[in-house]
Structure 1
Amino acid sequence: MTRMIIAGAQLGPIQKADSREAVVARMIDLMNMAADKGAGLIVYPELALTTFFPRWYMPDWNEVDTWFEREMPNGATMPLFERARELGMAMTFGYAELTPEGRRFNTSILTNRKAEIVGKYRKVHLPGHDEYDTERAFQHLEKRYFEPGDLGFNVWRNEGAIMGMAICNDRRWPETYRCLGLQGVELVTIGYNTPAVNSQMNAEGLEKRLFHSDLSLQSGAYQNATYVVGVAKAGLEDGHPLIGGSIIVDPDGFVLARAETEEDELIWADCDFDKCAFGKTTIFDFARHRRVEHYGRITSQTGAIVEV
C-alpha cells in the first residue's frame, strides 16, 4: 500500500514590491505547518516566487528578466530546499525560468524527500495574448513573456507514487490529464494564478471562475482515476484580484480538502494511491475501452472546422 499525506500550500497575494526572500519565508512557514500534519509532499502555486507579472506590458526586456530565475535552486530559494531536506518533505512549485540560451518558460519542478529535483514541466497551454490589448480590462501577456513548453507531459515515480505536473490553464484541457493518464499517473499537481474577473467579459466573476476551476480539476481526476491537487496564488495582488479555491481531489472526483480563504493557507489530505487502481481497471481501463482509430482528429487538427 502506498499512501501519503499531501499538503496544498495556497499563497495569498504577492505584491510587486515583495522580495523573493520574503516569499520564501512564507513558503517555509507553510512547509513547517505541513510537517506538523505529517505531509510527505507539499504543493505550491504557479509563479510562486513573484507577483503575477504578465498582467503588465513591459517593453524593456531587461525589466522582464528581473522576474525570471536563471537557476534552481538559487540564493533566494536555497533556504526552502534546505528546510525541505531537513524535514524529509518532497515539494513542487512554479517559477519563471530563463534558460542559459535565453529562452523563457513558465515552469514547475518536482523534488524528492532529499530536495533533489527529479522532474521539470514547462507550461504548454499559454493563455492570453502577446501584444498590448486596448480592449481588455487588464493585460494577460503570457504569450509575450513565455514560450509554450517543450518538455511535454511526463510522469515520474517519486516517493512510491506516479506523479505528473501541469500549470494553471493546462487544467482546462482534457488532453493534459489524458496524456498523463496514459502513463498511469496517480497524482497530478497543478499550481495556478487565475484572475477573479475575466478581462474580456467583466460579467464573468469569482463564482463562475471558481466553478470552472473545480469542474476542470474534478473531471480530470475522475476521467483518469488519479488524485489531483490544484493550488492557487490568491487575493488582491497589486490591485488585481486572484481566485483561491485550492482543492485536493480523489480518484473518484470528490473534493477531500478545500481552502476557505484567499490568504496563505494550508490544506491537506491522506491519499491512498491504491485507490487509483479501481477506476484504472474498470470504467477507465484504457487498454480495453479506448478506440484510438477514431481519435485522429485530436492530433491532426488544431482549430474547429465546420464541414456541414
Structure 2
Amino acid sequence: MREITVGGAQMGPIQKAESREAVVARMIVLLEAAAKRGCDLVVYPELTLTTFFPRYWMDDEAEIDAWFEREMPNGATKPLFDRARELEIALCLGYAELTPEGDHYNTQILTDRTGAIVGKYRKVHLPGHSEYDTERAFQHLEKKYFLPGDLGFPVWRNMDAWMGMMICNDRRWPESWRLMGLQGVELVVFGYNTPSVNSQMGGEGLEKRLYHSELVICAGAYQNATWAVAVAKAGDEDGHPLMGGSIIVDPNGFVVAKAQTEGDELITAVCDMDATVFGKETIFDFARHRRIEHYGPITAQTGVKTPEA
C-alpha cells in the first residue's frame, strides 16, 4: 500500500486587520496537531494568509499589492516552512502572488517533506466580475485583482504519488479534474473561500452551497478515481460569512472526513493511493473507453451554441 496521511487544515475567519504573522501562528498550531496525528501532508485553504480581500473595491495599486506575496516562503511564512521541515510534513497552501513582472495570480503551492516547493498552480476559473456591481449584495472582484492562471493543470510526483492542485471555483468545472485525471492523478488537493450566501441569489444559502460544493468534489473524485482534499477558510470575516465544509473524499466518491465547525479545525484521513487503481483500470479506463472524436466542442468553444433549427 502507498498510504499518505493527509490533514485538511481548515482556517476560521481572518479579519482584515489580522497580520500575516498572526495567521501563520494559527497555521503552525494546526501543523503541530497534524504531526501528532501522523500526517504526511497538510493542506491549507485558498488565500490562507489574509482575509478574502476580493470582496473589497480598491483603486490604489499600492493598497492592492499589499495583499500579495512577492516570494514564497517570505519573512512572514518562514516559521511555517521551518517547522514543517522539522516535522517532515509536506505543505499545500494558497496565497495571492505578485510576480517580478507585476502580474497578479491566485496561487497555490505544494512542497515535499523537506520544505522544497515541488509544484505551483494558478487559479484558472476566476469567478465574479471586474467592475463594481451595484446589483450584488457584496462584491466578488477576482476578475479585477487576478489574471487567469497560466500554468494549466499539471500533476507532480510527490511522496510516491501523483498529485494535482486546483483552487476554489475550479472544482465546479469537470475539465479541471479530467485534465489531471488524464495524467494519472491520485490525489487532488485544494483550498477555497466560498461565501455562505450567493451574492446574486440570496435564496441560495448555506445548506445549498455546501451541497453543491460536496456534489462536485465527490463527482470529480469518482469520475477520475482519485482522492480529493478540499479545505475551506470559513466563518465571519468582518461581517462577511464564509462557509466551511472541508472534506476528504475517496476515489469512489465517498466522504471519509468532514469538518464540523467554521473555525480552525483539522480533519485527517489515511489515503491509500493504490485504492485509485481499480477505478482507473475498469469503468474509468480512459484508454479503452474515451471517445475523443466526439469531444471537439469542449475545446473549440466557450459559450453555448444551440443547433440551428
TM-score normalised per structure 1? 1.00
Partner of 1:24: 24
Name 2:298's counterpart in structure 1: 298
Q: Distance in 2 between matches of 1:280 and 1:120?
A: 25
Give the structure 2 partner of residue 255 of structure 1: 255
State yes or no: 1:211 paired with 2:216.
Answer: no
- The match for 2:9 is 9
Paired position in structure 1 for 2:192: 192
Report the alpha carbon displacement of residue 306 of structure 1 after superposing the two structures with TM: 1.1
C-alpha deviations, 1:246-305, integer Å up to 9, x for none?
000000000000000000000000110000000000000000000000000000010001
- C-alpha offsets along residues 101-124 of structure 1, whole Å, 9 cap, x if unaligned? 000000000000000000000000
Q: Deviations over 1:167-222 (max 9, x none)?
A: 00000000000000000000000100000000001111000000000001000000
Counterpart amino acid of 1:254?
Answer: F
Q: Which one-letter code corresponds to 1:154 in the other structure?
A: P
3-state SS in 1 of match to 2:283: coil
1:217, 1:29 → 2: CA distance?
27
Q: CA deviation at 1:4?
A: 1.1
In 2, the alpha carbon distance for the partners of 1:24 and 1:145 equals 23
Q: Which amino acid aligns with 2:281?
A: T
Residue deviations 1:209-246 (CA, integer Å, cap 9, x gap): 00000001000000000000000000001100000000
Aligned to 1:133: 133
Give matches, 1:26-175, under 5 Å.
26-175=26-175
Q: Report the counterpart of residue 245 of structure 1 in structure 2.
A: 245
Count of matched residue pairs: 308
Measure the CA separation in 2 of the matches of 1:28 and 1:11: 11
Aligned to 1:180: 180
**1:4-47 CA distance string (max 9 Å, x none):** 11000000000001000000000000000000000000000000
Q: Which blocks of at least 5 consecutive residues in structure 2 are unaligned?
A: none
Runs of 4+ in 1 over 4 A off after TM superposition: none
Aligned to 1:233: 233
Tell me the distance in 2 between the aligned counterparts of 1:121 and 1:31: 22
C-alpha separation between the residues in 1 aligned to 2:91 and 2:81?
9
* Cα RMSD after superposing both structures: 0.4
Helix, strand or coil: the match of 2:210? helix
- 1:136 is paired with a residue whose SS is coil
Give the counterpart letter for 1:54 in structure 2: P
CA distance in 2, matches of 1:275, 1:105: 34
Matches of 2:248 and 2:14, distance apart in 1: 23
Structure 2 counterpart of 1:221: 221
SS at match of 1:6: strand
TM-score under structure 2 normalisation? Answer: 0.99
The percent of aligned pairs where both chains have the same amino acid is: 71
Distance in 1 (alpha carbons) for counterparts of 2:108 and 2:238: 23
Secondary structure at the aligned position of 1:196 is classed as coil
Secondary structure at 1:86's aligned position in 2? Answer: helix
SS of equivalent to 2:178:
helix
